[in-house]
Amino acid sequence: MVQAIAALDGPLVLVQSATTAEIKNDIGAHCLNWLVQEVSTSINTAAPGGNVGLMRIACD
């Protein structure tokens, strides 16, 4: 199964597998960090048209 996934085109895919018994005996058998997705949001606070002076007035 892992060889078939490795042969796929495109970006690398993280693969992990562990049986229930393996996880029960060793919680580290399954990397829980790989199940978390970080999302960041960026808000553009520049004034429309690029007039930065308008933003300075609004912050004073």
Average pLDDT over residues 31-60: 67
Tokens of 6: 């490795």
57 has pLDDT over 60: no
Give the pLDDT confidence score for residue 56 in this predicted structure: 60
Helix (H, G, I), strand (E, B) or coil at 22: helix
Q: What is the DSSP string of the chain?
A: -HHHHHTSSSS--------HHHHHH-GGGS-GGGG----------SPGGG-HHHHHHHH-
Residue 55: CB partners within 8 Å, gap ≥ 6?
Answer: 45, 46, 47
